[in-house]
Amino acid sequence: MATILRDGDLSLLDGSVAVVGYGSQGHAHALNLHDSGVQVVIGLREGLSSWSDAEEAGLEVRPIAEAVRGAQVVSLLLPDQVQPKVFTESVEPSLEPGAAVLFAHGFNVLYERVRPGEGHDVIMVAPKGPGHVVRRLYSEGYGTPALIAVERDASGSARETALAYAVGIGAGRAGIIETTFKEETETDLFGEQAVLCGGTTELIRAGFETLVAAGYQPEVAYYECLHELKLIVDLIWEGGLQHMRWSISDTAEFGDYTSGPRVIDERVRETMATLLGEIQSGAFAKRWVEDMDTGEPELTRLRAEAEGTQLEAVGEELRGLMRREDARAVG
Ligand code: NAD
Ligand code: MG
């Protein structure tokens, strides 16, 4: 079993930490570090609206190059697509000798799209949750688990720096696990493709469309295949698969055991292995990088194709009714 780490030495972050980017992860890391007593400087492109958001939250904001200058840890929290360009143009020329470069996801390092020079630690602190949850749980006194990794240890203390940063953003409260850039990136890509995002969205869509094609009301199909999913996942998240099965009816449990393996059958498992192979060989990264580097034509087309479905239209209407204020007005 993996060793779960809880504690680190925050004094390793003395001096300042430059958090480049103030989006989902950026705002969460910056505010959590700040509240943990670490001196944080936000690096942003001038003219962004997030500049005033960060200042209003009580943080110091500078243009990227200025924030990087003087920082001992530079956390690159920009969208993965823009990291290579911003790193080369605005971060690298201002990096202090010996400064550590920190990532929240391993993609750009594993596939060699961002390459900090020899004298710099290259580390990762990857929270296993969306940025807004990382911030909310910290504010409530809890934390989001995180993975840490060292790609290059130039200073001799790269691991301890990553650990300190992870503790600073509150991950120690939930558990920190050591990994490698390769393991984090490959499992992250696999998870989002096969289970969390791709697998789940298609499972919902297939279930909804099967019911609607058979003549059932779309609203009923929506409640069944999408709305209730969250309630079931909440139970699984709280106590595992058997806890969920304990809570549902025996009829639902019987159908779970008898039909689940027929939906996720041998063919699906083989497809999952194929996806993993494409991730491990770099074929998936190659396809996505080519798209990113040419203005994302494939992503734009896929996004447009996914819009305007009956599932989304029905959902928008029903979710409108379930907004808290409307529900109160009726009830
Ligand atoms: P984001 O899209 O939320 O943040 C974008 C930030 O970068 C904003 O401040 C934006 O203004 C700035 N930005 C965008 N384009 C820019 C440009 N061309 N030049 C300068 N600044 C620009 O990003 P994110 O989702 O927080 O992702 C940051 C990193 O965290 C990525 O490596 C991602 O893989 C990783 N990560 C994200 C999540 C998540 O919850 N979103 C979870 C785990 C890891
Ligand atoms: Mg992930």
**If DSSP states are collapsed to H, E and C, what string results for 112-181?**
CCCCCCCCCCEEEEEECCCHHHHHHHHHCCCCCCEEEEEEECCCCCHHHHHHHHHHHCCHHHCCEEECCH
User: What is residue 47's predicted lDDT score, i.e. its pLDDT?
Assistant: 86
Packing angle between helix 283-293 and helix 297-306, nearest 10 degrees? 100
* CA dihedral (143, 149, 154, 156) positive or negative: positive
Nearest bound ligand to CA 188?
A: 2
Residue 184 CB less than 6 A away from ligand 1: no
Query: What atom in ligand 1 is closest to the CA of residue 131?
Result: 40
- Rounded Cα gap, residues 69 and 149, in angstroms: 24
The sheet that has 146-152: what strands, in order across it?
60-63, 40-44, 16-20, 71-76, 100-103, 122-127, 146-152, 176-178
- Residue 147 in contact with residue 184, Cβ under 8 Å? yes
- Rounded Cα gap, residues 20 and 63, in angstroms: 9
Nearest bound ligand to CA 81?
A: 1
Q: What is the three-class DSSP state of 203?
A: helix
State the distance from the centre of ligand 1 to the C-alpha of 295, rounded, in angstroms.
17
Instruction: Return the closest-CA partner of residue 120 out of 98, 95, 90.
Output: 98
- Rounded Cα gap, residues 166 and 28, in angstroms: 12
* CA dihedral (32, 33, 37, 41) positive or negative: negative
Residue 288 CB less than 6 A away from ligand 1: no
Exposure on the CB side of residue 306, measured as CA atoms within 13 A: 10
- Residue 89 in contact with residue 60, Cβ under 8 Å? no
Ligand 1 binding pocket mutation candidate from 19, 20, 25 (most atoms within 8 A of CB): 25
Is 27 designated active site? Answer: no
Packing angle between helix 266-281 and helix 181-190, nearest 10 degrees? 140
One digit per residue, the tens of pLDDT, for the chain of length 331 reads 899 999 999 999 998 899 999 999 999 999 999 999 999 999 999 888 999 999 999 999 999 999 999 999 999 999 999 999 999 999 999 999 999 999 999 999 999 999 999 999 999 999 999 999 999 999 999 999 999 999 999 999 999 999 999 999 999 999 999 999 999 999 999 999 999 999 999 999 999 999 999 999 999 999 999 999 999 999 999 999 999 999 999 999 999 999 999 999 999 999 999 999 999 999 999 999 999 999 999 999 999 999 999 999 999 999 999 886 555 554 4
Residue nearest to atom 30 of ligand 1 (CA): 104
- Rounded Cα gap, residues 295 and 62, in angstroms: 28
Ligand 1 binding pocket mutation candidate from 24, 46, 101 (most atoms within 8 A of CB): 24
Whole-model pTM: value is 0.92
Q: Which of 29, 34, 105, 120 is flagged as catalytic?
A: 105
**The tokens of 42 are what?**
């936000």
